[in-house]
Amino acid sequence: MRKSISALLICICISCAEKAKKEENQTTSEVPKEKVTFMTLDPGHFHAALVQKTMYPQVDSTSYVYAPDGPEVQDFLSKIDGYNTRPDSPTSWTVKKQLGDDYLNAMLAEKPGNVMIVAGKNSKKVDYILEAVKSGLNVYADKPLVINEEGFEKLKEAFKIADEKGLMIYDIMTERFESTTGMQKLFSTLPSVFGELVDGSVDEPAISKESVHHFSKIVSGKPLVRPSWFFDIVEEGEGIVDVTTHLVDLVQWEAFPDQIIDSSDVEMLKARRWPTTLTKAEFTKVTKQEEYPDYLKKDLDGDKLNVYCNGEMIYKINGKHAKVSVIWNYEAPAGAADTHYSIMRGTKSNLIIKQGEEEGYKPILYVEANDDTGFEAELNNALEQQVAQHYPGTTVERISKKMWKVNIPDSFKVGHEAHFGQVTQNYLKYLDKGELPAWEVPNMITKYYTTIEAYKMARSK
């Protein structure tokens, strides 16, 4: 099964990348069976707005937001207004708002739409999802869907109800649409270049992924203001159950494409957690709040804030060793941004993604041959016969005896914010079809089983 790759997902990825480059606002012209209407619930994270940075022909231009009044929903509305008024490919959303403390019940009672979007406090997310599917609504949710054991049990119940009612729960896995990740996956399916994924070990896993993020960053051209609760692990969750969701997803998606993975296929071996410490000045700069709120005082060491946003796990999945790490720093170096490192170790070569200073803080894929004898010919043949079908114009550049740099055309490098439109287009196609791929739901459940097992192990120490 490692020799096959989902033609559907690859075609969607490539098609979306090309269109996003030409015009951020442009989407598929297919006529849907039924119009989709978005309802955004309690948008506490900027990812909620990024879903609407693009228009979709399947989606009604009138959307709804239900939320408590305050700076978070106002920031959401401001971003939508910014997309509507931008000079380049403006959107045309009309947002009808229902603001107040009873926002959840108001949405469930009125139900002006058929898809609930949720991106905000992770502590509440699974409860929102459960109530939505009970009320007959589809769910499109930012990661993570759960941050603790209790939430995982609720998520399994939500999936059961959704299945019984013919509804769809889908989490927003943007990293599947990053071109270097897609290329790494593609090469890993080519036995002539990659061979097979090795079993690996605890010290040298078969597949490793590390993500470095920053509290202070620029989003949609403006400094990001984070809510104070973002630094509360009770509300946001620890790092080992948050950003790791993307990385665990990529391990499954790349190493075992189109395969159903059960939780019994996962064995957690090691897990640890550690804090990033912020000064009060740093906290104030990124939240615009002069004082720490009472709920953060439990995490203070003097006037410094310890945020348990870093985590690492090593586990076996289908007999292969995998490692996932997430690190949060306060601010990126000049010219840098969030970064990603990944390696897949094969019997013939290693596929390595780096995004450091040498790469100009842009993700670059390298192919490292275990034995360079005749390897370059095999690599060039793969480019011509397989890679060109999905990423036309891709070339390789030999940079050392056993190392090649993969040059992916800029047309496929659309950026993180554009990935939200790509995932949304994917979701809309599944909605129109009325079903997800057979592996998506069981693998979502296994994904969250994995992060929660790591969370439990890390906290037990």
Tell me the pLDDT tens digit for each residue of 386-396. Answer: 999 999 999 99
Write down the number of H helices and E strands in the chain.
Answer: 14, 18
| pLDDT value at residue 147 | 97
Return contacts of 424-427, CB within 8 angstroms, 24+ apart: 424/51, 424/54, 424/56, 424/140, 424/172, 425/12, 425/16, 425/27, 425/28, 425/56, 426/9, 426/12, 426/16, 427/140, 427/168, 427/170
240-282: pLDDT as tens digits: 999 999 999 999 999 999 999 999 999 999 999 999 999 999 9
Inter-residue contact 367 to 190 (CB < 8 Å): no
The predicted pLDDT at position 5 comes to: 37
Which amino acid, 252? Q
H or E, element range at 347: none
Task: For the chain, 461 residues long, give each residue's pLDDT as a single digit of tens.
Answer: 443 434 433 343 444 444 444 444 443 334 446 799 999 999 999 999 999 999 999 999 999 999 999 999 999 999 999 999 999 999 999 999 999 999 999 999 999 999 999 999 999 999 999 999 999 999 999 999 999 999 999 999 999 999 999 999 999 999 999 999 999 999 999 999 999 999 999 999 999 999 999 999 877 778 888 999 999 999 999 999 999 999 999 999 999 999 999 999 999 999 999 999 999 999 999 999 999 999 999 999 999 999 999 999 999 999 999 999 999 999 987 777 788 899 999 999 999 999 988 898 889 999 999 999 999 999 999 999 999 999 999 999 999 999 999 999 999 998 889 999 999 999 999 999 999 999 999 999 999 999 999 999 999 97
Q: Do residues 236 and 229 make contact, with C-beta atoms less than 8 angstroms apart?
A: yes
* CA–CA gap between residue 245 and residue 237 (Å, rounded): 12
The model's pLDDT over 402-435, given as tens digits with 9 standing for 90+, comes to 999 999 999 999 888 999 999 999 999 999 999 9
Q: What is the DSSP string of 364-432?
A: EEEEEES--TTHHHHHHHHIIIIIHHHSTT-EEEE-SSSEEEEE--GGG---HHHHHHHHHHHHHHHHH
Distance of CA 246 to the CA centre of its chain: 5
Distance between CA atoms of 109 and 101, rounded to whole angstroms? 14
**Cβ-contact 116, 122 below 8 angstroms:** no
Which tokens belong to 212? 């470095």
Q: What share of the chain is helix, strand, coil (3-state, %, to 5)?
A: 40, 25, 35
Residue 230 CA: distances (Å) to CA of 48, 122, 217, 416: 15, 9, 14, 20
Can you tell me whether residue 39 is helix, strand or coil? strand
Tokens of 240: 């080992």
Identify the CA nearest to 281 among candidates 304, 298, 300, 310.
Answer: 304
Q: Which of these, 188, 355, 323, 350, lies nearest to 248 by C-alpha position?
A: 323
Do residues 421 and 16 make contact, with C-beta atoms less than 8 angstroms apart?
Answer: yes
Contact 407, 396 (CB under 8 A): yes
Q: Are strands 222-223 and 320-331 parallel, antiparallel or unpaired?
A: unpaired
Q: Which of 209, 191, 178 is nearest to 1 (CA)?
A: 191
Characterize 94-130 residue by residue with b for buried, 16 or more Cβ atoms within 10 angstroms of its Cβ, and e for exposed: ebebeeeeebbebbbeebebbbbbbbbbbbbbbebbb
* Whole-number pLDDT of residue 229: 93
The first and second tokens of residue 328, run together, are 């949060």
| Beta bridge partner(s), residue 170 | 140
Tell me the pTM.
Answer: 0.89
Of 52, 260, 255, 233, the closest CA to residue 148 belongs to 233
Helix (H) or strand (E) holding 123: helix 122-134
Angle between helices 122-134 and 103-110 (to 10 degrees): 20
Q: Please tell me whether residue 143 adopts helix, strand or coil conformation.
A: coil
Pairing of strands 320-331, 300-301: unpaired
Q: Cis before residue 144, ω within 30 degrees of 0?
A: yes
- Structure confidence at residue 34 (pLDDT): 73
Measured from the Cβ of residue 348, the count of other Cβ atoms closer than 10 Å reads: 17
